[in-house]
Amino acid sequence: MATHALQVSDAEYQEVRSHRLLGFLFFLISDSILFCSFIFSYLYDRSASPMWPPAGVERPGLYLAAVNSIVLFGSGVTMHLAMEAWRHANRTRFTQYIIATIVLGIGFLSGQAYEYTHLHDTWWGSVFGASFFTLTGMHGFHVFIGVCFLITVLLQARNGVYDQNRYFGLTAATLYWHFVDVIWVALFFLFYVY
């Protein structure tokens, strides 16, 4: 199946790919700044409080968050394996791994939805609750966007948009998914461990 991407010369594609990659990295940096702003705000609130979580506010449960973390980190592994399968021209394995990544991403979102519906009543109206919902909600939204991104990339790959040498969309999806994993490491540590 001929596509516009295949009509561009290799030199033009490499130049455009470099610009796209730089633009995508700037996007990830700006997204990191957004998360860092909220994380530093949370840390400030935490350090200004004589007791954390505030009196009467129960800490979130570690068990569900740990299981959810394993699911998300497992999806990072399957995403890496999907990218490697593509690079080695193994389309069957690519499809299997990217579908596994999508399913694990949906599993993480389901775990987060379950946690949100079973939270302590003491969180409502507290600084801790506001911080928790803002940061984990923003992260969950990023996971949802990532799942949509992966579904789009899978459909594009199946329709011949990418070939063995031209697959920037797959690279961007992989970088984005790993970014989501890294952000969760920080949030897991802040809300559940520290």
Which 8-state DSSP code applies to residue 191? I
Q: What is the pLDDT of residue 1?
A: 43
> Among all chains, which residue has been given the structure tokens 């957004």?
34
Question: What's the predicted TM-score (pTM) here?
Answer: 0.90
Q: What is the pLDDT of residue 45?
A: 92
Nearest to 141, CA basis, from 97, 99, 172, 187: 187
What's the rounded Cα separation, in Å, for the pair 5 and 13? 8
- What's at 98, amino acid-wise? I
10-residue stretch averages of pLDDT, the chain, 194 residues long: 54 77 95 97 93 84 95 98 96 97 98 89 81 95 98 96 89 97 96 90
What's the rounded Cα separation, in Å, for the pair 162 and 116? 38
Q: What is the total residue count of the chain? A: 194
Which 8-state DSSP code applies to residue 54? P
175 CA to centre of own chain = 9
Q: What is the pLDDT of residue 5?
A: 46
Which 8-state DSSP code applies to residue 108? H
The burial class, CB within 10 Å (0-12 / 13-18 / 19+), for 27 is middle
What CATH superfamily is the domain 9-193?
A: Cytochrome c oxidase, subunit III, four-helix bundle (1.20.120.80)
Helices (H) and strands (E) in the chain, counts: 6, 0
What's the rounded Cα separation, in Å, for the pair 142 and 119? 21
Q: What is the pLDDT of residue 54?
A: 83
